[in-house]
């Protein structure tokens, strides 16, 4: 074989091999792009699923918190914000119900202190006994106002450490 013919065949083979390699490289680039798109879609789906799971866990925790007072024999306070009611209960029994005016964030708080004039919750919210001329229907900026009889009923049953459920 002559040298120019061999070089021509070699150039033809190298050109064909280069074309095949170029097509394979393009095919691999397209596959990488598709995989990156799939990975991004999966990450979005995973993020949405995690958010839905967290929302469901919060919903279940709130539901358990609402049911918690009814499963215990310990006395508790329950503030139902939308109705403006303060309930004193033990298990499923309602011992006392009082209409109150209050703006408070939902949650569970322990009773930190009880004295002759106040019941103090963990966040600093205070239930105060009103004087003879006080009106419990009037919102108090520093807590919840209660009539003497209602306050006496609460302090006779509640102890430091008992819980107040606000919802």
Q: How many domains does the chain have?
A: 2
Mean pLDDT, rounded, for 109-128: 89
- pLDDT at residue 138 in the model: 55
Are 42 and 57 in the same domain? yes
Please give the structure tokens belonging to residue 95. 């011992």
% of the chain beyond a pLDDT of 90:
10
Would you tell me how many other CB atoms lie within 10 Å of the CB of residue 27? 10
Quote the pTM value.
0.56
What is the radius of gyration, based on Cα positions, of the chain? 36
Are 3 and 65 in the same domain? yes
User: In this predicted model, which residue has the larger pLDDT, 105 or 110?
Assistant: 110
CA distance 55 to 73: 30
CA distance 4 to 50: 68
Which residues form the domain of 106?
72-166
């Amino acid at each position: 074989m002559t040298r120019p013919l061999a070089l021509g065949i070699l150039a033809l083979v190298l050109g064909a091999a280069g074309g095949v390699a170029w097509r394979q490289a393009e095919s691999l680039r397209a596959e990488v792009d598709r995989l990156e798109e799939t990975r991004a879609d999966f990450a979005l789906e995973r993020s949405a699923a995690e958010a839905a799971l967290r929302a469901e866990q919060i919903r279940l925790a709130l539901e358990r918190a609402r049911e918690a007072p009814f499963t215990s024999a310990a006395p508790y306070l329950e503030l139902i914000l939308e109705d403006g009611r303060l309930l004193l209960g033990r298990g499923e029994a309602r011992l006392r119900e009082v209409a109150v005016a209050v703006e408070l964030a939902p949650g569970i708080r322990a009773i930190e202190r009880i004295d002759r004039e106040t019941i103090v919750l963990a966040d600093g919210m205070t239930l105060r006994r009103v004087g003879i001329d006080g009106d419990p229907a009037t919102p108090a900026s520093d807590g919840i106002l209660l009539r003497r009889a209602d306050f006496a009923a609460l302090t006779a049953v509640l102890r430091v450490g008992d819980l107040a459920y606000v919802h």
